[in-house]
Chains A and B, each alone.
Chain A
Amino acid sequence: MLKVHEYQAKEIFKKYGIPTPKEKVCKDVTEVIAASREIGTPCVIKAQVMVGGRGKAGGIKVAKNGDEAKQYAQQILGMEIKGIPVKKVLVSEAVAITHEAYLGIIIDRTEKKTVVMACKEGGVEIEEVARKNPEAIYKVYADPLLGLMDHHARAVGLFLYDDPKKAFGCASIAQKLYKIFTHLDASLVEINPLVIDQTGQLIALDAKINFDDNGLYRHADVAAMRDRESEDANELRARECDLSYVKLDGDIGCVVNGAGLAMATMDLVKHFGGEPANFLDIGGSSSPEKVKNALDILLKDKNVKVIFFNIFGGITRCDDVANGILQAKRELNIKQPIVARLTGTNEEKAMEILKTAGLVFATTMDEGAKKALELLK
């Protein structure tokens, strides 16, 4: 799932004609001072990080004048929010809010359709509302082949606003959101809050868009929006090597073929009292090169004390994995002990290849996980 910053989502909103506040993205204090002059004060300084709870963490401040804008910019730029450093801020006109609401689109996996959701409260955590007070959310399913029909979009607007002018303005925004969602292969588009200002205008005060990774191949412009700095360098590298990696906090590094088995392997390590260091799926037709890359990525995590290979060969050939382990041992100076459970296609060949490699072997994943744990002691 590709996430983008608020300012990037708002650029897309503007392109599709959704009203947003006057604002400017800045990367240093000088730019903030200039932007606050251009936009005027009071203005809002908003940290651009892709985590929730920015306001609570002190990442959103209202500056009454230029001096405050400068002061807050100094505070926010460089601060960390949930461990992520703030590299950019958005300087935004301060909107006098008279009404707040929620408007969003996701794919409903159960109904197998896109669904537009509206809620009369703005700034809410929509999943929280869905769980605690589902009646507060108004839902309209778009027709998969016809799209979001006008009367459906108007129904969303009329749910949120009594005034027909505002309701139909909202309907038009819902239509534009739906266009963004379907044109760009989004997995979530959200205006939270959608506000009404003193003059009665609807404005998207915040913007969030997540994209479906599977759709990125046909949207180079979206793929280019990826903020590489805000992502784990190892996870990025893994993606480039066509591996699926997620870092966790434990010390037993797991190398597995297949996502389900990779999760089950992490769970098994935990089940026997250990802590998995990562999720790592080397995928189907794994070449020795891919296995080497996997180990290289895994070992960048200095917490890893033991490596546990759990391979159930189907398309993946155990001898390919074995050759990858050998190659990695030669080239990467691996000090950590390796527990190998390789079963299925060509497992005998794999054993032959690895018999003098100094590995600890296991025939089942239970045995492998237990041996990995013993090696920690």
Chain B
Amino acid sequence: MSILVDKNTKLLVQGITGRDGSFHTRQMLNYGTTVVAGVTPGKGGVEVEGVPVFNSVAEAVKKTHANTSIIFVPAQFAASAVYEAIDGGIKLIVCVSEGIPTIELVKITAYMKDKNCRLIGPNSPGLVSAGDAKVGILPGHIFKKGSVGVISRSGTLTYEIVDHITKVGLGQSTCIGIGGDPIIGTKFIDCLELFAHDKETAAVVVVGEIGGRDEQDTAVYVKKHFKKPVFGFIAGKTAPPDKRMGHAGAIISGTSGTAAEKIKVFKECGIKVGDTPAEVAQLVKSTVKD
């Protein structure tokens, strides 16, 4: 088992004819993901990497029974692509696009309410259920099937930590990049709720960063409700206040959202925190036997 994506995933790629869309379609196919369709309005009828392209999500879903979508369209059109996926009956939407105005996410969140659909991202590298499916841009070769769940607000930092976990001899169940924007569809806690019921997952690594208070809320949730061991890493201990550190969501506002504050709450709630990515893997290894 794993969470969110697996061998039953039937993937639709929105923006498949673009440079990133076509490149990563090939990468995902190579990993073994079942990619059933692509959508680029106006380009229906062609094929990309052997995958049929449709003019609309609704048509693609009707013809191919796609249940998951990944979005590679430019930021200006990404919100609209999310709405189309929701209305097209997609159950899991992974939005890789970076740069969507935050107010659009406020509206998307409201529109999705009461609809049987989940959004991951935006500004997400996607997710991998090791050995089963990759829906995203994460490099497939660093993953090994195993029992560690990983949730992260970052991209390459996630690869770094996954790589360490693999190199200490452990593997991953599912690794999710939830996205670096201030408002995202699926948060740490949402992922933990799923990991709680996943028999394959024995422990979870939470990779957070400065900005907002999701990590703090997550720590409290872990203490109250989550039975499996959780390990943490927080990036941005040396970040200055009021400066956006790359990710739109990675900003210390005045004195709130600092790494120190998050690490403190993690520790208070029983989450073991690694000072470096390498240390995180060592901590996991000391607890989890794969």
Residues of chain B in range 95-129 having any CB-CB distance to chain A below 8 Å: 99-103, 105-107, 109-111, 125
Nearest A residue to B257 via CB reads A109
Do B102 and A214 touch across chains, with their CB atoms under 8 A apart? Answer: yes
- Given the known inter-chain contacts A110-B217, A257-B156, please indicate yes or no for A187 contacting B180, CB distance below 8 A: no
A266/B238 in contact, CB under 8 A = yes
Residues of A within 8 A of B156 (CB): 256-258, 260-261, 312, 314, 316
Instruction: With A215-B101, A271-B275, A312-B160 as known contacts, state yes or no: A266 contacts B239, CB within 8 Å.
Output: yes
- The complex places the Cα of A256 from the Cα of B243 at a distance, in Å, of 17
Total residue contacts A-B, CB cutoff 8 A:
181
Interface flags, B40-80, vs A, CB<8A=1, else 0: 00000000000000000000000000000000000110000
Chain A nearest CB from B104 CB (Å) reads 9
Interface residues of A in 18-75 (CB under 8 A from B): none
**A interface residues, how many (CB within 8 angstroms):** 58
Question: Is B166 among interface residues, defined by CB-CB distance under 8 A?
Answer: no
Write out, one digit per residue, whether chain A residues 97-128 have a CB within 8 A of any chain B CB (1) or not (0): 00000000001011011100000000001011
Q: Does A263 contact B155, Cβ atoms closer than 8 Å?
A: no
Cβ contact within 8 Å between B100 and A214: yes
A107 touching B183, Cβ below 8 Å: yes
Bound form: Cα–Cα A270–B240 in Å: 14
Indicate if the CB atoms of A144 and B246 lie closer than 8 Å: no
A315 neighbours in B (Cβ, 8 Å): 20, 137
Contact B101 A185 (CB under 8 A): yes
A262 on the B face (CB < 8 A): yes
Given A1-B251, A217-B75, A279 and B246 touching (CB < 8 A)?
yes
A270 to B238, CA, bound (A): 8
- A284 contacts across to B, CB distance below 8 A: 137, 155
Q: Is A246 an interface residue (CB 8 A)?
A: yes
A274-323 contacts to B, CB under 8 A, are 276, 279, 281, 284-285, 312-316
- List which B143-202 residues lie within 8 A (CB) of chain A: 152-160, 163, 180, 182-183
Further 6 A-B residue pairs, CB within 8 A, beyond A259-B246, A264-B233, A285-B20: A127-B255, A217-B76, A244-B245, A259-B250, A268-B276, A271-B275
3 closest cross-chain pairs (CB), A and B: A260-B154, A259-B246, A258-B156
List the interface of chain B (C-beta within 8 A of A).
Answer: 20, 75-76, 99-103, 105-107, 109-111, 125, 137-139, 142, 152-160, 163, 180, 182-183, 207, 209-210, 212-214, 217, 233, 235-240, 242-251, 253-256, 259, 275-278
A to B CB contacts below 8 Å, 5 in the list: A110-B212, A214-B99, A244-B245, A260-B154, A263-B239
